């Protein structure tokens, strides 16, 4: 498929120069907000018509987009997930953006974005997409569940005083488990295992993109500890929870202490009417100081074969601008801005009380490792290896050795 994409002739495109077709996935609520943005954009630019081409399912989105790119019928502008962006960059189908972002027409200069969020969207000094927003995986916690386990200390307060240590976090999880509650719930994907490694002082990849976690004693020890807590049931893999008793349901019924998720969790607790019971905290560290952890992102790119280059960039830069992100995320939006100047949307309404934590974690966080994100399916395959660890079918050293072998096989590093 990728060879076919690279071989496609230039020209064609999805639309004439006065129309911008763009595509994304999303919930009905998100798609409604996108249509509202389109309406406002067209009021400012009556010479440009904007058409949204939504795809309901994330799992179907990228395969459809690849097929459209192959047939030269793809949208002019489109979202790409953080687990797919490297694949699209390597295929040579995206518009290079450095010069455009530095132009007078740009409302999105490269330095306006938080650099850790670009990840595999940048290659060899060129930018091929930019994060449309972000979601740091914070630790949501349920104060009612903590109290039921006899925990009197508040995690966010501990973090503010530099006392939010790994020891304290695990002690709370032990108490939750002893009270018959789930300690912590995590989704099994790159941000969980690499955030745990980084927060504990370990190193997964070196600067060349080679995997070195299996040779780093700190990483091995951190992964061993992580595995033990999953194996004894104190930590739970949210992906494997039974239907009807999923992670969201468990969390809003006060049956778990911590849940690693993004800002979109606001909608979950508001719908359940339990907002006052919840707050957020960064990941714990051995010494209580903050450390960089994973930030989920998606990216907005321009079709390298669009016939509507000027109009597409106008839409692209306004969508990603501080004003555009404010419009899309205000009023209880489900993400955190990726650009400077839009942070007030995160702090509005006071939910959660320590919402500043989202911004602090974004500022120092990281997107998926570029080398991992550039190989189709590699992140998923690595997560499968970690799932075996969590289920007690492998140990930490064996898991990390298997990851090292897999990365070397897929990337040549």
Average pLDDT for 240-252: 93
Average pLDDT for 258-271: 96
Task: Give tens-digit pLDDT for 385-412.
Answer: 999 999 999 999 999 999 999 999 999 9
- pTM for the whole structure: 0.92
Task: Give tens-digit pLDDT for 80-114.
Answer: 999 899 999 999 999 999 999 999 999 999 999 99
Mean pLDDT of the residues in the chain? 93
Q: Do domains 11-135+296-364 and 138-293+375-411 have the same CATH topology?
A: yes
Compute CA distances 1 → 31, 167, 248, whole Å. Answer: 29, 48, 37
Positive/negative CA dihedral, 248, 254, 259, 265 = positive
Q: Is the pLDDT of residue 14 over 50?
A: no
Q: What CATH number belongs to 138-293+375-411?
A: 3.40.190.10
Q: Is the pLDDT of residue 51 over 70?
A: yes
Q: Is the pLDDT of residue 12 over 60?
A: no
* Weakest-pLDDT range from 127-131, 146-150, 153-157, 409-413: 409-413
Q: What CATH number belongs to 11-135+296-364?
A: 3.40.190.10
Task: Give tens-digit pLDDT for 58-87.
Answer: 989 999 999 999 999 999 999 999 989 999
Average pLDDT for 319-339: 93
> Where in the chain are the domains?
11-135+296-364, 138-293+375-411
């Amino acid at each position: 498929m990728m060879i076919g994409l690279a071989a496609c002739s230039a020209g064609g495109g999805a639309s004439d120069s006065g129309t911008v077709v763009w595509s994304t996935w999303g919930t009905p609520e998100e798609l409604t907000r996108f249509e509202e943005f389109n309406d406002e954009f067209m009021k400012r630019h009556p010479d440009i018509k904007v058409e949204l081409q939504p795809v309901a399912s994330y799992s179907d989105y990228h395969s459809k987009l690849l097929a459209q790119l192959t047939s030269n019928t793809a949208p002019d502008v489109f979202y790409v997930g953080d687990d797919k962006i490297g694949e699209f960059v390597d295929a040579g189908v995206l518009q290079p953006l450095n010069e455009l972002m530095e132009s007078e027409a740009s409302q999105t200069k490269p330095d306006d974005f938080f650099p850790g969020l670009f990840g595999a969207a940048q290659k060899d000094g060129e930018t091929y997409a930019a994060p449309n927003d972000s979601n740091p995986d914070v630790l949501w916690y349920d104060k009612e569940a903590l109290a039921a386990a006899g925990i009197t200390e508040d995690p966010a307060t501990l973090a503010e005083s530099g006392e939010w240590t790994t020891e304290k976090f695990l002690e709370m999880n032990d108490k939750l488990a002893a009270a018959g509650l789930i300690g912590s719930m995590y989704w099994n994907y790159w941000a969980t295992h690499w955030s745990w490694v980084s927060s504990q002082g370990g190193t997964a990849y070196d600067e060349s993109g080679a995997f070195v976690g299996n040779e780093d004693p700190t990483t091995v020890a951190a992964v061993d500890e992580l595995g033990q807590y999953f194996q004894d049931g104190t930590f739970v893999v949210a992906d494997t929870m039974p239907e009807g008793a999923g992670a969201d349901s468990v969390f809003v019924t006060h049956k778990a202490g911590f849940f690693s998720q993004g800002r979109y969790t606001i909608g979950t607790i508001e719908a359940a009417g339990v907002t006052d019971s919840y707050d957020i905290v960064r990941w714990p560290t051995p010494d209580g100081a903050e450390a960089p952890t994973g930030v989920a992102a998606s990216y907005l790119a321009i079709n390298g074969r669009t016939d509507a280059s000027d109009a597409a960039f106008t839409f692209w830069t306004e969508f990603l601008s501080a004003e555009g992100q404010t419009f899309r995320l205000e009023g209880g939006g489900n993400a955190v801005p990726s650009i400077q100047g839009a942070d007030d949307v995160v702090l509005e309404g006071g939910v959660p009380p320590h919402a500043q934590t989202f911004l602090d974690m974004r500022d120092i966080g990281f997107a998926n490792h570029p080398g991992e994100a550039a190989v189709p399916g590699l992140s998923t395959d690595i997560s499968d290896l970690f799932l075996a660890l969590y289920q007690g079918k492998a140990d930490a050293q064996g898991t990390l050795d298997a990851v090292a072998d897999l990365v070397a096989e897929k990337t040549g590093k």
